[in-house]
Amino acid sequence: MSQPVGASARSRASARWRRQAPAALALLPAAVIVIAVYIGAMIWTVRLAFSSSKMLPVFDFVGLQQFERLFATERFVASGWHILVFGVLFIAGALVLGFLLAVFIDQHVRFEGAFRTIFLYPYAMSFIVTGLAWQWFLHPELGLQKAVRDWGFTSFTFDWIVQPNLVIYTLVIAAIWQASGLVMAILLAGLRGVDAELWKAARIDAIPPWRVYMSIILPMLTPMLVTAAVLLAVAVAKLYDLVIAMTKGGPGISSEVPAKFIMDNFFERSNVGLGSAAATVLLITVVAIVAPWIYAEHLRPKRSGR
């Protein structure tokens, strides 16, 4: 009895293999690249973080020396705080604004297509362009402040971009301006998927629309919100070009971020060891944040056996 079953299972397996072989073959180069380049480069970087490398990589071992210097470096520690403030405000701000924009468009406003394009447009621009535009706009002697003063309001002051303790918020503003359109697009797709019957039922029960959005629609949009939040979080971790274009890390070191610290040390400063140590710290931080989420999403045993 068992033999035919085994044989048929084997033939099924071989049939499946024949079907999947081309696909597996096609994916092989990508897999090799991911493993060799990404993982390999990661291991290489972590290894260099424990070396005394300056301009060229050397493979000696100096223990935690680079990390000790790293955490004694005021600029790196400040960069960590900046990215934290930026990350929290940016993700929260972009989600809230993106949701409001999506709700606004979901009211079936006139010229919906035009609004959608306008809101999504900033996302089509690179961070470099965004940064340059906002730098001009916020510059006290070129942009908004000068314009308003020229109109006669001579005491008007809006010079956050040159104020060491406020400059980080200008980065947040520019980044929210750029990214909230993307959040809107994602959430709008979710809103459009909401069953019209739901709205009818809510109207019959005389529930105010804001209450429907907060208590019924928003929970339904959770997967979209998570997607948007992950995309935004990635943008936070690699924040570099916006800073370069807008503030170059200044005034002083008050808008420095970790990615810029790493790049500066790798190239301009010929300090591969310290740069690698900073990259390793950044990697550990990202993994520490992402790992619980990956576990929850993919690895946790599913409760309902599918």
Partner 1 sequence: MRVSPSLIGLAFAAALSSVPAMAAEPQKAEVIHWWTSGGEAAAVKVFADAYDKAGGQWVDSAIAGGGGEAARTAGINRIVGGNPPTMMQFNTGKQLDELVSNSYLANLDDAANAGHWKDLLPKPIVDASMRDGHWYALPVNIHGANWLFYNTKVFADAGIPEPKTWSDLLAAGPKLKAKGVIPFAHGGQAWQDHLLFDAVLAGEGGSDLYLSVYGKDPEKAIASPGFKHVAEVFKQLGGLMDPGMPGRNWNDATAMVITGKAGFQVMGDWAKGEFLSASQTPGKEYGCAILGADGGYVMGGDVFVFPKMKDANGTAAQAKLESLMLDPATQIAFNTKKGSVPARTDLDVSSMDACAQKGVALLKDPKKQLPSITYLISPDETGALNDVITQYLNTPSETPDDFVAKFAAAVKASQ
Which residues are at the interface with partner 1 (CB under 8 A)?
54-56, 69, 72-75, 135, 139-142, 159, 161-162, 164, 246-254, 264-265, 267-271, 274
Q: Which residues, in sequence order, are CB contacts of 250 under 8 Å at separation 6+?
A: 167
Nearer to partner 1, 176 or 245 (CB): 245
Nearer to partner 1, 71 or 293 (CB): 71
Nearer to partner 1, 131 or 190 (CB): 131
Task: Kindly report whether the peptide bond that precedes residue 258 is cis, defined as omega within 30 degrees of 0.
Answer: no
37 burial level (CB within 10 Å; 0-12, 13-18, 19+): exposed
CB of 55 to partner 1, least distance (A): 4
CB of 161 to partner 1, least distance (A): 8
Nearer to partner 1, 145 or 180 (CB): 145
CB of 178 to partner 1, least distance (A): 19
CB of 76 to partner 1, least distance (A): 10
Rounded to whole angstroms, how far apart are CA atoms 60 and 74?
Answer: 26
Nearer to partner 1, 205 or 268 (CB): 268
Rounded to whole angstroms, how far apart are CA atoms 202 and 212?
Answer: 7
Rounded to whole angstroms, how far apart are CA atoms 54 and 274?
Answer: 8
CB of 266 to partner 1, least distance (A): 9
Helix (H, G, I), strand (E, B) or coil at 233: helix
Residue 47 corresponds to which tokens in the numbers above? 């290894």
Element (H, E) at 147: helix 144-150
